[in-house]
């Protein structure tokens, strides 16, 4: 089974929340589960896969400003703060630190629940180090 791991981090790149979707599913599915459990934040930085009008509107309703570049296939490109978007590298650094754990990097576990448990354990250690 192929899975896709979605993550929410704080401003310092420490993991706060994870959820998984099937690997062949679009990021829109992961985005649909995201707004309900977000902590208080001023900005949300995300990659192009999360670019949807309904998602940006849901964030604005919660008082969060989205910083999401538009998909290349959009007829009308969306505006985003390019300088702020460069801070999204903290998320990539967090995923790199997760892959320091061999069990997570090589995906030893076939069961998604066990794999997510291994990710959560690694995230707990990462959060406090």
Q: Got the DSSP string for 80-122?
A: --HHHHGGGHHHHHHHHHHTTSHHHHTT---SHHHHHHHHHHH
pLDDT higher for 73 or 95?
A: 95
Count of domains observed in the chain:
1
State how far the Cα of 87 lies from the Cα of 67, in Å rounded to an integer: 10
State how far the Cα of 3 lies from the Cα of 25, in Å rounded to an integer: 9
State how far the Cα of 15 lies from the Cα of 25, in Å rounded to an integer: 22
Q: Mean pLDDT throughout 57-65?
A: 90
Mean pLDDT of the chain: 85
Q: What's the confidence (pLDDT) of residue 21?
A: 84
Q: Mean pLDDT throughout 107-119?
A: 87
Q: Quote the domain boundaries for residue 92.
A: 3-128
Q: What's the confidence (pLDDT) of residue 126?
A: 87
Q: What's the confidence (pLDDT) of residue 104?
A: 86
Q: What is the CATH number of the domain that holds 83?
A: 3.30.420
Are residues 31 and 51 in contact, defined by beta-carbon separation less than 8 angstroms?
no
Cα angle, residue 68 at apex, residues 66 and 73 outer, rounded to 5° = 135
Q: Is the pLDDT of residue 100 over 70?
A: yes
Q: What's the confidence (pLDDT) of residue 1?
A: 60
């Amino acid at each position: 089974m192929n899975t896709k791991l979605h993550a929410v981090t704080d401003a310092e790149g420490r993991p706060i929340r994870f959820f998984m979707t099937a690997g062949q599913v679009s990021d829109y599915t992961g985005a649909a589960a995201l707004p309900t459990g977000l902590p208080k934040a001023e900005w949300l930085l995300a990659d192009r896969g999360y670019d949807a009008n309904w998602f940006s509107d849901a964030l604005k309703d919660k008082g969060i400003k989205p910083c999401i570049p538009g998909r290349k296939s959009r007829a009308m490109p969306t505006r985003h703060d390019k300088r702020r978007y460069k801070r999204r590298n903290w998320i990539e650094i967090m995923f790199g630190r997760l892959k320091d754990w061999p069990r997570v990097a090589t995906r030893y576990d076939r069961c998604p629940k066990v794999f997510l448990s291994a990710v959560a354990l690694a995230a707990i250690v990462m959060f406090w180090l």
